[in-house]
Amino acid sequence: MLYFDHAATTPPYPEVIQSMSEIMAQHYGNPSALHSAGEEAAKLLKRAREVCAGALSVSPKEIVFTSGATEGNNLAIKGTAMQYRSRGKHLVTTVTEHPSVYESFRQMEALGWEVTWIPVGPDGVVNAEQLAEQVRSDTVMVSVMHVNNETGAVQPLEKIGSLIKEKNHRVLFHVDGVQGFGKLPVELDNWKTDLYTLSSHKFKGPKGAGILYIRQGVTLFPLITGGSQENGHRGGTENVAAAAASAKAMRLASAAQADFYHKMNGLRNILFEKIAKMPEVMLNSTDSGAPHIVHFSYPGLKPEVLVHLMEQQGFLISTKSACSSKSSEPSRVLLKMGRDKDAASSGIRISLGWEHTENDVIQLCRALEQSADKLRSITARRR
């Protein structure tokens, strides 16, 4: 079985599995405890924080470990809105954000905050000038993802960060970096980023672990209260094994980023070329997007049926984001990109990983053609 769903989750590095197993077995102390077992765990946690900070070129004090990007995005958005509500109650984001961001803003809207939703073009990219025009004196936060999890569209973060800070230097800039880290360069300083969210299992680390960068000087209203862990940003006993394993995955993914981009870019170009020749297919990704995601629509065909036909031939692909894949609703992202309901209801996502070869991609495309032909034949007979 060939796995082409790396945007949903990635197979962990063997070193990550080994590291997590060893720590769980040998260093199970509570890092807040005063005895030697606790001190050993605290040292591992401190080292993990340093490694993560090094991969992002930031200070270890700016790293907060979370249970994943959903928590990290919720903390970044709601924590900022609540902490700085005396500055104003205006927030800005785009219409194609991941559900953990999109729903967080909808919740803040329901609680009385004003949210300005910025549209995107047919390529899924936001206009930086148009976004910056919406920043006001009472704007507290702007949140824009690095890479779209469905289409791979890459947002112009450096330009956005520069323009919004020129308009209002106090506005906080949050970036959901889940699909970008390890695939594209990360330049938090150049982007003028105040908050940056990561999920470990998207770069070959463990599930249930995430990282939130909080620029020094920024304070968040904590959503999980209790002890004073994570500099008071998040109460609860730290998951030392997951943090250490995430740090190892982060270091490995960061070191391999340039090679990953070169290899995935080559495979993506082959996919583009072959998929573009298939009848009735509409590409939703562009060659300026992230190197590991190719998204297209098969109007008139049920994507979930196509996914199952592909699995029968030994290929695992997906429809939209893993968080929304079981929903029968048309893709919100594709609708906001201007696709009609038919196209937005028939999206297919292929996401690449290290293990893939040119031959794997060619076989995948052949299986796609065969499965689509079979499905079209079945659909025609039922009409």
Q: Which residues are catalytic?
A: 323
Residues present in the chain in total: 383
Q: How far apart are CA 89 and CA 237, in angstroms?
A: 33
* Distant-in-sequence, close-in-space partners of 203: CB < 8 Å, separation ≥ 6: 10, 181, 182, 249, 250, 253
Residue 193 zone, left/alpha/beta (φ > 0; ψ -120 to 50; rest): beta
Instruction: Name residue 49's amino acid.
Output: R
**Mode of pairing for the β-strands spanning 2-3 and 347-351:** unpaired
Helix axes 257-276, 358-382, angle to 10 degrees: 40
d(CA 105, CA 330): 21
What letter represents residue 217's amino acid? G
Q: Within its chain, how far is the Cα of 251 from the centroid? A: 18
- Structure tokens given for 377: 């034949």
CA 52 – CA 130 distance, rounded (Å) = 34
Distance CA 292, CA 151 (A): 10
Instruction: State which H helix or E strand residue 96 sits in.
Output: none
Quick one: which of 99, 93, 44 has its CA closest to 69? Answer: 99
Measure Cα distances from 168 to 25, 47, 87, 367 in Å. Answer: 50, 36, 12, 52
The residues, ordered by sequence, that sit 6+ positions from 192 with a Cβ below 8 Å of its Cβ are 161, 162, 164, 165, 173
Distance CA 344, CA 358 (A): 29
* Other beta carbons less than 10 A from residue 112's beta carbon: 8
Cα distance from N-terminal residue to C-terminal residue, the chain? 33
Task: Give dist(CA 191, CA 203) in Å, integer.
Answer: 21
